[in-house]
Structure 1
């Protein structure tokens, strides 16, 4: 799809309390694909997308930062679009999901008419409410993953991923992942070179495959099991030591089986994976703020083998330790 015979039509869905940058930022990137890079290099301008904001009945919407956006058209009047984008929910999740129910039928109508559907961050909740995500791979903001899983058990949620795709349905992770999503969609319609040129002209990275880089261990403490919270607090203070499941269970008056069951029920992961998260989080901090060698860091966070640690680090962050330090170290 490198040379479209017509601009592709993109419709941004507008509703009250959406995150404004998700709407306006995506509109800018789509509208400037084939434009910004060409202007910089004094080449002929060829817009690849026709972009519009559609709202219920064409009414203006007020975003979460009180910016008032005027619609180009009513959602009911959109008969066809190549792509429909659902922005991030910036307000109270339950309130907005209730208020946006009248949008469901139109999202379904356009999807059944062949439109690609994309949702960003908590906008994936709105998309999941329509049922379109059932039995499909999806992602959402890492901080809302547990709530998403509980609410939509039929969705194959993969919160470590920055962007997911199955069939013609796309999802993106945390709030500003809209530019990862938009660049992926530009690549889908126009090819890699156009996406790369658009990214470079806006000083953006073309590929950020995982959002676990930004998710700390605190995401696993949003629960009410005080016994497990006590165990987590203990692990946070002693993660550099040789902790064992049997030792943790005995110290907190549980059997290993009970500890695993309750820990996973409360946190969504096993005690071993939580221990790994603590150690990786500390390693990331060392890489960001210190000049310690990798060998020293590995020992300092409770590991012994540098090679196995490096593989684990890359599996969780998508970057080798040296790449992570180069990208995130504070200068």
Structure 2
């Protein structure tokens, strides 16, 4: 099956993604019996003639911070027009927000970069759910992918979908890319917000940062703050969107990730240092937060 890729080019687009997609498709054509993929760059307002085969519009990630990126004028109408022309629309990283603005992700699963899960969910509550593990989420007419270089996973996924896994595997092996599904859990980090403007919550956070994580509890935190658990809960929820217990758990698991990545200590030793007397309890807590086990996390070499 032949596919025609239209790559949306705009000032803030990640150049490596545009060129990278073109290069990966060139490799795919080399390994297929016939040239299965065409690629063409387009800009907003340009409606090229579509082929009779599969047409895919690729919305690349942005290199500038998304909050500073100016959305191309007319993009929402442009994407809706492509959808009406029965094209598949794919987006990476923060560009998923622009796709969501069209309403094309309503009642569908989607993903984006792990640091953007919460704002994507908050800004677009009609999205069915934010997938926090898979790097690529395929909903048929719309496909979303995670971070900046997740375009590689996305294009390999599309090559496999339309020409078969064997071709995608040849491309991946030749280019030394990962063909097996990756999980975002291997890359995520807990990065607390310290710029919310609530001095009492900030004081509580600083206490958490400087305390022995093994002994840190909500009760101890409340005692230090001279606040009731209910009041502390309300303040945390207002500015951090986490309960104090969730915040402490995230802090504990983040420390365990560092130990798993940088030390040769056993999982049992790491669990004990974090306050878990039973390694199975630690494993359950780790999986609750990350979606994978400590052993699986360590096996990836992060």
With over 3 angstroms needed to count, the CA separation of the structure-2 counterparts of 1:32 and 1:269, relative to structure 1, is: farther
1:290 & 1:94 partners in 2: Cα distance? 36
Picking from 166, 175, 179, the partner of 1:206 is 179
Picking from 239, 243, 254, the partner of 2:227 is 254
Unaligned runs of 5+ in 1: 39-43, 58-74
With over 3 angstroms needed to count, the CA separation of the structure-2 counterparts of 1:309 and 1:97, relative to structure 1, is: same
Q: Does 1:133 align with 2:105?
A: yes
1:227 & 1:212 partners in 2: Cα distance? 31
Q: Which residue of 1 aligns with 2:79?
A: 107
- Per the TM alignment, residue 97 of structure 1 is displaced from its structure 2 partner at its CA by 4.3
Q: Does 1:298 align with 2:265?
A: no
Q: Which residue of 1 aligns with 2:18?
A: 23
Cα distance per residue 1:225-252 (max 9 Å; x no partner): 3322222222223352243333323432
Cα distance per residue 1:74-116 (max 9 Å; x no partner): x322445521111112235355444x13122221112122221
Q: Which residue of 2 aligns with 1:72?
A: none
1:269 & 1:211 partners in 2: Cα distance? 21
8 A contact 2:112–2:147 mirrored in 1: yes
- Per the TM alignment, residue 208 of structure 1 is displaced from its structure 2 partner at its CA by 4.3
| 2:58 match: secondary structure | strand
Q: Does 1:32 align with 2:41?
A: no
8 A contact 2:9–2:43 mirrored in 1: yes
2:203 & 2:141 partners in 1: Cα distance? 44
1:207 & 1:270 partners in 2: Cα distance? 36
2:167 & 2:288 partners in 1: Cα distance? 29
Picking from 51, 60, 68, the partner of 2:39 is 51
Q: Which residue of 2 aligns with 1:148?
A: 120
- Per the TM alignment, residue 34 of structure 1 is displaced from its structure 2 partner at its CA by 4.7
Unaligned runs of 5+ in 2: none
With over 3 angstroms needed to count, the CA separation of the structure-2 counterparts of 1:220 and 1:141, relative to structure 1, is: farther
Picking from 166, 188, 191, the partner of 2:139 is 166
| 1:84 match: secondary structure | strand
Task: Select between 264-273 and 168-177 the one with higher mean Cα deviation.
Answer: 264-273
With over 3 angstroms needed to count, the CA separation of the structure-2 counterparts of 1:185 and 1:273, relative to structure 1, is: farther
8 A contact 1:120–1:140 mirrored in 2: yes
**TM-score after normalising by structure 1:** 0.79
8 A contact 2:286–2:293 mirrored in 1: yes
With over 3 angstroms needed to count, the CA separation of the structure-2 counterparts of 1:88 and 1:157, relative to structure 1, is: farther
1:94 & 1:313 partners in 2: Cα distance? 31
8 A contact 2:5–2:55 mirrored in 1: yes
Q: Does 1:77 align with 2:44?
A: no
